[in-house]
Structure 1
């Protein structure tokens, strides 16, 4: 007699099958993913420290950039440490609670990236198309409200999905063809009816995806329209300030589209997982490089921060180190 499997939240475990089982590949994957994760965390932390410590970067664009770096650190930290632990232990287990935690934070940080990219596009639109009113409109109060509203919306949307997921039932040892607990993949493995969760997921994806993308497209349409009547110098300045953001937008949505197409076209779990690695690891890792290499202000702030820190560590005594720390905070 078949009985419906119970949702044993205390003991339920899932199996993540997205990574290859070859023992010879495990040291290579460990070294590769660990190095990528460390570069991601270090690069984004440097961006946050540079923006916070350098008065030249106390502007709306860099305030949003530091929040984007914070979201990227959280995005990578949600999946990579657990994945490295599983590779090192040659295990594929993930507990029910850990899986739900990954689903929640993956949705939250991915959604936050989406919102911040739209807000940064609006900031560039105001700076280029309305330069005389820019400082009045994009004041610190409005910038703070935009970021807080983004965190607030995505917090509750992710929480709603999490609560709906808790009503689903799974069997012990459910196999997920992925390297992490991604919401769409987990829903496919549910034994109970997941229609309501899928409807909410599609509606939330449409609303939270379409509106930010539409905002980005409208902002850049207005920017391009204004560039038609501006001088050559004005066009170059506008392109230089938008170039980094356009690169990050292309990388974020390009890799996201690649994940969707790979999962729709191929049924190979490893191919889909490799596409997801690009989305969850490569994109957060490259964002700091894109902004630091293409932006003279960020590059200069990072140079001053690193040179000051290096001189303090190499030649400073204990009392001098304290003074260096205070001076770094006041840069």
Structure 2
């Protein structure tokens, strides 16, 4: 039961993260390409319903199929992973489960590939819009997107390798170490990545560094 709860929560939080990154890309697209309409397009009520959609939709694609298609695990049920990862747990199934495997692929496309496509399209439009403005404005616009691009590359890159790549017994060890990036490293460095564009944070870091050097 503890392993099941861990799998479901991890998948739910992961789906939320992917959809939120797609919404953040759309937010930057509106801010740069339609800056005069930003206050209207991304008003508080719109943000609220986008958040509600993310939470409810990710809940539906993770929890309902898990309840409808339970998996019976065989003994010894030792997971070849640091945690209860969905793909590693599925390898312990007693019977062949093509429907479950197909649904994992389908949900991975919905929660990983589809948001990634939205992000790519948003940034293609952003780059096309940035190239039309002056060089002074370009650096400011690119700096606004740099932190988000870094998080997207770190999170989606490793997530796609695990859930959309070929899964075999030989790749279990590789999946183990790749998962560290999107489960531990990416959430851990997110606050630092997003804070580096903040002048107050930069100033504080510089002051702390100078104080350490003086000592």
TM-score after normalising by structure 2: 0.86
Structure 1 match to 2:132: 229
In 1: Cα distance, 2:137 partner to 2:41 partner:
21
Distance 1:268 1:131, change over 3 A: closer
In 1: Cα distance, 2:157 partner to 2:72 partner:
34
Greater RCO (Cα-Cα under 8 Å, separation 6 or more): 1
Measure how far apart 1:204 and its partner are: 1.6
Greater C-alpha radius of gyration: 1
Residue segments in structure 1 that go unaligned for 5+ positions in a row: 1-96, 304-331
Measure how far apart 1:272 and its partner are: 3.1
Measure how far apart 1:285 and its partner are: 0.8
Structure 1 match to 2:196: 293
The aligned runs of 1:200-279 (5 Å cut-off) are 200-259=103-162, 264=167, 267=170, 269-279=172-182
Aligned counterpart in structure 2 of residue 133 of structure 1, from 37, 43, 61: 37
Structure 1 match to 2:60: 156
Structure 1 match to 2:14: 110
Distance 1:225 1:247, change over 3 A: same
Task: Report the RMSD for the aligned CA atoms in angstroms.
Answer: 2.3
User: After TM superposition, which residue ranges in structure 1, 4 or more long, deviate above 6 angstroms?
Assistant: none
Measure how far apart 1:216 and its partner are: 0.3
Tell me whether 1:101 sits opposite 2:11 in the alignment: no
Distance 1:263 1:205, change over 3 A: closer
Measure how far apart 1:209 and its partner are: 2.1
Secondary structure at the residue paired with 1:176? coil
Distance 1:278 1:209, change over 3 A: closer
Secondary structure at the residue paired with 1:121? helix
In 2: Cα distance, 1:294 partner to 1:263 partner:
37
Measure how far apart 1:262 and its partner are: 8.7
